[in-house]
Structure 1
């Protein structure tokens, strides 16, 4: 023992452990030391975290001073992890900083069934892995899967979803990832393709999916077809996806900085939609259940025309001060026809470094329109709102400055 630290060999006799975090595994000189830890014999262990020092930088790639990890080091860490086989009763597993090319043998299809109690799996900073493990889809209890920062993965192939023949014939569920309710894929920065064959049943109770920071060209149509319990879908910084369609069960969709996204359609149960900095967005259709639309883009020069094709009860907009000034002209301004059909609109802009200092609040029925944008500021935009509208707006100014922060 050295303070609170011990060697892997000293872990061997500790048979009653329930939680274990092993870090700096890159310093283990031989897999024989890992074997002496006897991880697979610790039958009471429910939580295990295995860590190496991360080689991933802030951009999601190998750190700049890394010219590649030597093959000898990669083989060495693979051998160490192969000897850290978790016990069959493990419920939570975290792997961080692993830099082998191949994931441990106990994560592939022929042996992963031994982890039949695993509920939560997090894999973070997989610097050199080129494939996701092909056995995870067999785990009958897996509920949460997080894959974070895996810059060498360019494709998710069919092996990720298809169980091996033996398991498929004996499974009562008949679907891959039968209990998975949440999947997060974050920072697979080179990922371009996710293949999901139409006949492959998978993720029948998936409720939440996050795809963030990748080059995926499309979200597989089979996801919308088979993941019929999906309620929340978050697509952040996915550069090449052009459309999101036919997710019949989704009620909440966030799209952030998806620079090529043009169309969102046929999401018949969608109630909340958040669009942030999606400059090519052109089409919103088939969103009959939409209740709330949040729109944020400080580079917008005009209110998007696609708003005319949806009718949420509430729209919340964050935009530039010049655009807000144009909106604040109300029915006398150029933006009015794009949002006047919406029951309630709340639009904000930052001013003098103060977030949301300026605002416009509008209710269709009963009609109410107010703003703290000055008459002179609107007039400088070449727009002259009627004096009766402006008088009403000024009369209720103080009421809404105290209430609007509750939104």
Structure 2
């Protein structure tokens, strides 16, 4: 099993070599910095072709140089493609899989509809500005990835006819609305960046209602919803297969973390805040949800299903990320009770000034008063970044929490002291990152930490009693005076552009 943040995996060299041997007469893999790619392409007829020309001496792949490969079933191309008038995809009518990335593809788009057998289409980060109007005739299409096609502003209306479509990604495009009839894509499993738009009495959220097979869903532009009733019609709670849900508003936050849109008196638009709160209340997810993201939310209170044990549907949640919460004043009080939560990230929440017992202590205890339930029993990674007004973290020694926490990141806040309960109970903590903590003066008694990274902490003076610490990185901490109780230290990286002499605290250090 990989980590919850893993997006790549490796294949054993022996397995890779065996696969290459078995496919030697059917497949060609040509990677960058090879100057004889064209010769290799012309040497044989292949069923599968994988070309990476990005960063190579070839600069651009000539489209005509691969058109003789009329038997291709799979074509993967990463890097520029040089086209000229008359070039098309007609020669590849047998393709099942087409993956083109970081290339000039717009000139070839119109011939896409010639690929009657195509199942998989990915043209991510190309200059594509349009899709064939009759794309609905490509009946076998199951996968469409348009991520990063910034010039693409519309989906053809016939896309709703692709009954076998399972995957659609339009993140990073200019697409702002979805064709009516989208609800007919009954087999859709993965839908990234569904843009909410209002058109009279019609809201695109209704189109999500019948899509019961969804496992991954990303909705953007939620502040365009004019009534909570439209959110209800999305029927998120009925999608029992849903494992990943991302809820995103339109960005209204400036560099200072505050709302940009204000009324004439400079007061935040409270009516809009109340509306977005009501809208998110209607998005209570199904019980099996594992990954939840909330981005650019500007309500003062988080959804009820995150704040009350009576209605919380998050018992299977493993990953929670909340970013740019400009006006939320408190963290959810049920997180500590979630039995599966492994990763918690909160980025840019400037209204939070205190984290107290409600964050760490369950609302109820076991019948035996001598046994208190452990909070965050499976939390592995915790990241607090950009809580710029956060001054107090209350965690007393008697509060048992985070028994298997391995990685903690604290960045851009005003904490003066680390809570005593953290060092005492987080006995599995291995990696600790402390960045831009202006008022923190000491780090002490983290007995299990192996790697410590302190960056740009203006008032940090003392690091002591870290008996297992092996690697220490200190960058731009000008007031550092004391390093002691670090018997296992093997490596120290020290960096400060204003430093003129070796600090005195290094004189007695043994590495």
1:145 equivalent among 325, 339, 344 = 344
Matches within 5 A, 1:238-277: 238-277=437-476
User: What residue number does 1:192 align with?
Assistant: 391
Matches within 5 A, 1:234-383: 234-312=433-511
User: What residue number does 1:379 align with?
Assistant: none
Name the count of aligned residue pairs. Answer: 311
User: What residue number does 1:33 align with?
Assistant: 230
User: What residue number does 1:17 align with?
Assistant: 214
Q: Return the offset for 1:60.
A: 3.5
Quick one: distance in 2 between partners of 1:65 and 1:290?
Answer: 52
Quick one: distance in 2 between partners of 1:65 and 1:244?
Answer: 41
Quick one: distance in 1 between partners of 2:367 and 2:454?
Answer: 35
Q: Deviations over 1:332-370 (max 9, x none)?
A: xxxxxxxxxxxxxxxxxxxxxxxxxxxxxxxxxxxxxxx
**SS of residue paired to 1:35:** helix
Q: Return the offset for 1:70.
A: 1.6
Q: Return the offset for 1:64.
A: 8.8
**SS of residue paired to 1:191:** coil
Quick one: distance in 2 between partners of 1:155 and 1:40?
Answer: 32
User: What residue number does 1:360 align with?
Assistant: none
Highest RCO, 1 vs 2 (Cα 8 Å, sep ≥ 6): 1
User: What residue number does 2:407 align with?
Assistant: 208
**SS of residue paired to 2:361:** coil
Matched, 1:182 2:384: no
**SS of residue paired to 2:207:** helix
Q: Return the offset for 1:40.
A: 0.4
Q: TM-score, normalised by structure 2?
A: 0.59
Quick one: distance in 2 between partners of 1:41 and 1:155?
Answer: 36
Using a 3 Å threshold, how does the CA distance of structure 1 residues 204 and 36 change in structure 2: closer, same or farther? same
Quick one: distance in 2 between partners of 1:13 and 1:260?
Answer: 56
User: What residue number does 1:397 align with?
Assistant: none
**SS of residue paired to 1:185:** strand
Asked if structure 2 preserves the Cα contact closer than 8 Å seen for 1:124 and 1:149, the reply is yes
Q: Which runs of 5+ in 1 are unaligned?
A: 313-407
Asked if structure 2 preserves the Cα contact closer than 8 Å seen for 1:55 and 1:125, the reply is no
Asked if structure 2 preserves the Cα contact closer than 8 Å seen for 1:34 and 1:80, the reply is yes
Quick one: distance in 1 between partners of 2:286 and 2:502?
Answer: 57
Using a 3 Å threshold, how does the CA distance of structure 1 residues 43 and 213 change in structure 2: closer, same or farther? same
2:294 equivalent among 95, 116, 139 = 95
Matches within 5 A, 1:73-88: 73-88=272-287
Q: Return the offset for 1:186.
A: 0.4
Quick one: distance in 1 between partners of 2:303 and 2:433?
Answer: 30
Quick one: distance in 1 between partners of 2:239 and 2:210?
Answer: 9
Quick one: distance in 1 between partners of 2:330 and 2:341?
Answer: 19
Using a 3 Å threshold, how does the CA distance of structure 1 residues 61 and 213 change in structure 2: closer, same or farther? farther
**SS of residue paired to 2:436:** strand
Asked if structure 2 preserves the Cα contact closer than 8 Å seen for 1:56 and 1:149, the reply is no
1:47 equivalent among 226, 244, 249 = 244
Using a 3 Å threshold, how does the CA distance of structure 1 residues 49 and 143 change in structure 2: closer, same or farther? same
Using a 3 Å threshold, how does the CA distance of structure 1 residues 253 and 5 change in structure 2: closer, same or farther? closer
Quick one: distance in 2 between partners of 1:62 and 1:5?
Answer: 21
**SS of residue paired to 1:114:** coil
User: What residue number does 1:218 align with?
Assistant: 417
Matched, 1:135 2:334: yes
Q: Return the offset for 1:180.
A: 0.3
Quick one: distance in 1 between partners of 2:485 and 2:178?
Answer: 63
Q: Return the offset for 1:164.
A: 1.0
Quick one: distance in 1 between partners of 2:454 and 2:481?
Answer: 14
Pick which of 144-153 and 2-11 moved more.
Answer: 2-11
Quick one: distance in 1 between partners of 2:404 and 2:352?
Answer: 26
Q: Deviations over 1:234-265 (max 9, x none)?
A: 00001101000000000000000000000000
Using a 3 Å threshold, how does the CA distance of structure 1 residues 64 and 291 change in structure 2: closer, same or farther? farther
Pick which of 23-32 and 158-167 moved more.
Answer: 158-167
Quick one: distance in 2 between partners of 1:261 and 1:294?
Answer: 16
Q: Deviations over 1:71-117 (max 9, x none)?
A: 11111000000000011000100000111111000001424653111
Structure ranking higher in helix proportion: 1
Pick which of 59-68 and 3-12 moved more.
Answer: 59-68
